[in-house]
């Protein structure tokens, strides 16, 4: 067992055959170090921050893969001494799974790819059916986050009129959460026999997903107070003793870009305002990255309605079981597994496509 895994893993870690070329990564880091040490680095603050963040990401990748390679060599020695030890066999199996995922670390190329993420789900037109679909998506992404060991925190949620949710905002904390989730932006389409349709007819529903990076505090985003409109209002939905009793919820509008963020799930107005400002900084950072790269995110730029013809993925539960990504053609027939968070194949296909 181990010999087979070790031979396969060599094509992963060794420069001669796999994606992991430590000399190449170190060369990229050295080139960035030259820029970092240049006396005029901070003449362009935006570029300086981008260089520093890229360097940090490459160093993290190199260290993680070197550590994994070291663990591989250690396990090889242990296996040779005790091939039947269940702890050693278990460690080998665990490392095999980690090594498989490690093959995709180098696909996270942008500075923000290493950050956590904010994820927003909005029900489309269609009333209760669409709102139930939005709630199904919210569970799908929370289960996906759990599979990856990410922390998934509800920032704001608006319940549906009868069932489901109108929208929800998650903060998903963990390394590379944004890198994984960034291609989930778009419209998601569900086809099923609706439990809310008395005639038992097949029905189509839509919900949209938006994602932006949860940037850390080392990235400076200049925001002028005069460019902000801050509103407070009474929170709605389930919550603690202060919900529905005080105007603790906060909505902040960045007037120049018409960017709006809201937060209602913290315990006080001050905490809600702090979280809303963090979300605003992250959204403005994403906008600036798009502008600096001179390209627009196709899913956002199109601003398509949440309806037929604009979806990125179809989830068909009737008359057959099939989940298919429109952009890559990747499909799965186990729709229950997908709705329980099995999304990596869809995400990896888009990451590999670049």
Residue 174 pLDDT: 86
Mean pLDDT for 158-177 is 92
Write out the H or E segment, with its range, that includes residue 254: strand 249-254
Q: pLDDT band at 153, cuts 50/70/90? A: very high
From CA 108, how far away is CA 112, in angstroms rounded? Answer: 9
Q: pLDDT band at 321, cuts 50/70/90? A: very high
Residue 5 pLDDT: 52
Mean pLDDT for 206-214 is 92
Whether 12 shows a pLDDT value over 70: the answer reads no
Write out the H or E segment, with its range, that includes residue 211: strand 202-214
Mean pLDDT for 262-278 is 87
From CA 194, how far away is CA 205, in angstroms rounded? Answer: 9
Cα distances from 36 to residues 16, 25, 26, 31, 111, in angstroms, run 30, 16, 15, 9, 15
Whether 70 shows a pLDDT value over 90: the answer reads no
Pick 111-187+208-302's CATH classification: 3.30.930.10, 3.40.630.30, 3.30.160.20, 3.40.190.10.
3.30.160.20
Q: pLDDT band at 15, cuts 50/70/90? A: very low
Average pLDDT over the chain, rounded to an integer: 82
From CA 275, how far away is CA 271, in angstroms rounded? Answer: 6
Mean pLDDT for 214-240 is 75
CATH architecture of 2-107: Up-down Bundle (1.20)
Q: Beta strand pairing status for 249-254 and 311-316?
A: unpaired
Whether 82 shows a pLDDT value over 70: the answer reads yes
Is-contact 103 17, C-beta < 8 A? no
Is-contact 285 50, C-beta < 8 A? no
Helix, strand or coil for residue 293?
coil
If one counts every other C-beta atom within 10 angstroms of the C-beta of residue 330, the result is: 16
Domain ranges of the chain: 2-107, 111-187+208-302
Min mean pLDDT across 208-217, 271-280, 297-306 is at 297-306
> What six digits make up the tokens of 51?
């260089």
Q: pLDDT band at 260, cuts 50/70/90? A: very high
From CA 297, how far away is CA 185, in angstroms rounded? Answer: 9
Mean pLDDT for 111-137 is 91
Write out the H or E segment, with its range, that includes residue 182: none
From CA 258, how far away is CA 268, in angstroms rounded? Answer: 25
Residue 54 pLDDT: 77
Whether 18 shows a pLDDT value over 60: the answer reads no
Residue 300 pLDDT: 44
Mean pLDDT for 80-109 is 76
Q: Beta strand pairing status for 259-263 and 202-214?
A: unpaired
Q: pLDDT band at 339, cuts 50/70/90? A: very high
Which residues lie across from 249 on neighbouring strands?
233
Is-contact 225 256, C-beta < 8 A? no
| Strand ranges of the sheet holding 228-233, from the earlier edge strand across to the other edge | 228-233, 249-254, 259-263
Is-contact 174 148, C-beta < 8 A? yes
């Amino acid at each position: 067992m181990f010999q087979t895994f070790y031979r396969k893993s060599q094509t992963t870690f060794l420069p001669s055959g796999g994606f992991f070329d430590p000399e190449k990564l170190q060369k990229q880091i050295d080139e960035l170090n030259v820029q970092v040490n240049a006396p005029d680095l901070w003449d362009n603050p935006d570029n300086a921050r981008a260089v520093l963040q890229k360097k940090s990401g490459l160093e993290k990748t190199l260290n993680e893969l070197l550590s994994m390679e070291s663990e591989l060599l250690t396990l090889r020695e242990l296996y040779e001494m005790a091939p039947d030890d269940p702890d050693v066999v278990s460690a080998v199996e665990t490392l095999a799974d980690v090594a498989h995922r490690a093959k995709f670390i180098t696909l996270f190329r942008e500075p923000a790819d290493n950050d956590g993420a904010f994820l927003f789900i909005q029900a489309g037109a269609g009333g209760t059916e669409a709102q139930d679909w939005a709630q199904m998506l919210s569970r799908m992404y929370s289960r996906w986050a759990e599979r990856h060991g990410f922390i998934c925190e509800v920032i704001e949620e608006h319940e549906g009129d009868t069932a489901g949710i109108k929208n929800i905002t998650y903060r998903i904390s963990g390394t590379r959460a944004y890198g994984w989730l960034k291609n989930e932006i778009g419209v998601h389409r569900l086809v099923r026999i609706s439990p809310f349709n008395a005639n038992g007819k097949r029905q189509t529903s839509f919900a949209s997903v938006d994602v932006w990076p949860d940037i850390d505090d080392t990235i400076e985003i200049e925001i002028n107070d005069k460019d902000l409109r801050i509103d407070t209002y009474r929170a709605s939905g389930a919550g603690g003793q202060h919900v529905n009793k005080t105007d603790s919820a906060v909505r902040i509008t960045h007037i120049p870009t018409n960017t709006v963020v809201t937060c209602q799930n913290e315990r006080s107005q001050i905490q809600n305002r702090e979280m809303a400002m963090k979300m605003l900084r992250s959204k403005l950072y994403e906008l600036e990255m798009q502008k600096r790269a001179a390209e627009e995110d196709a899913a956002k730029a199109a601003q398509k309605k949440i309806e037929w013809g604009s979806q990125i993925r179809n989830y068909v539960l009737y008359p057959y079981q099939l989940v298919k990504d429109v952009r890559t053609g990747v499909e799965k027939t186990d729709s229950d597994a997908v709705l329980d968070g099995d999304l990596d194949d869809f995400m990896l296909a888009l990451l590999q496509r670049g």
